Amino acid sequence: MSHLETTYLGLKLKNPVIVGSSGLTSSIEKIKKLEEKGAGAIVLKSIFEEQIKFEAGNLANGSDSPEAWDYVNYYVKNNTVQEYLNLIKKAKEEVKIPIIASINCVTSKEWTGFAKSIEEAGADAIEINVFLLPNDRNASADKYENIYFELAQKLKSTIKIPFAFKLGSHFTNLLGFIQKLHVPGVVLFNRFYAPDIDVDDMKFVSSEVFSNPADMRDILRWVGIISSEIPKMDIAASTGVHDGKAVIKQLLAGASAVQVCSTLYKNGIDHLETIIKDLEDWMRKHGYESVEEFKGKMSYSKITDPLIYERSQFMKYFSSIQ
């Protein structure tokens, strides 16, 4: 019999399939259904620093009073925060699987106190989602990277529960950056909002919201490398994971857990059961009794030709195509 249990951020998961932060994880009713379908853990829908500021600005619109602005900012921020904390408390009361809170922020100043409140509400871990568009041509890379480092240090001195940084792939030296970040775990990689242009209406629209299976290829490369070069770092593979085979690939590359989201929107939450069954069937077919037996078996340091992970040019493979 195959045992799917694994560990991520020091948390015991009944299986490595985590439902990622999204509208799917925004209410206690949805969370309970995802647990019923087999989710190993839940990442709650993110609370956004930008959202709080936007809501506060709308409510205070039309008032020139500094006191009004202060009151509205305080009211909106604390009520938004309280609703989120209530969701954490309720989820911990009604489900048994780990609940991971998610903070989406753009500074290193606002959120450490909120992280402490999340810990006190009972969350098992926190996923930190920081993205800064480097659009200042006079700024050095250090200016942007230091925001991550400062936030990591503040969190280490503020909370005791584990946390992971959900990162984009656009770092000059990703491996060095993650090594220096020195946090319990990372989620590779984030899907950021990207603009598109409607050429008929001449207006900006959002690009494709959902991932597709091809999106996991770059993640697979970096999971394989980072899991070997920084072995004590827990990695959750995210983006492009649409079926059980994709989960297996990421675990073989060295991921501790795998996050799914878009595929559940496209196929329904029942697909979660199919993904988990496919993993279990594959393990049984290949004689693995536990996830730990094959986790990282095809990582950068374990394969005979690690250069496979380093190749970035297509010439060898496509030079014969006319």
> What is the set of domains in the chain, with CATH numbers?
6-318 (3.20.20.70)
Phi, psi at 180, each rounded to 5°: -70, -30
Q: Residue 293: its pLDDT value, please?
A: 95
Task: Give 5's DSSP letter.
Answer: -
pLDDT-derived band at 101 (thresholds 50, 70, 90) equals very high
Strands (E), 10-80: 11-13, 17-19, 41-43, 47-48
Positive or negative: CA dihedral 126, 91, 267, 51:
negative
Task: Give 261's DSSP letter.
Answer: -
Checking phi first, is residue 268 left (phi over 0); if not, alpha (psi -120 to 50) or beta? left
Task: Name the residue with tokens 């009713």.
Answer: 29
Q: Residue 163: its pLDDT value, please?
A: 97
Q: Residue 205: its pLDDT value, please?
A: 76
- Chain centroid to Cα 150, Å, comes to 20
Q: Residue 214: its pLDDT value, please?
A: 74
State pLDDT tens for residues 230-276. 988 999 999 889 999 999 999 999 999 999 999 999 999 999 999 99
Average pLDDT over residues 99-118: 80
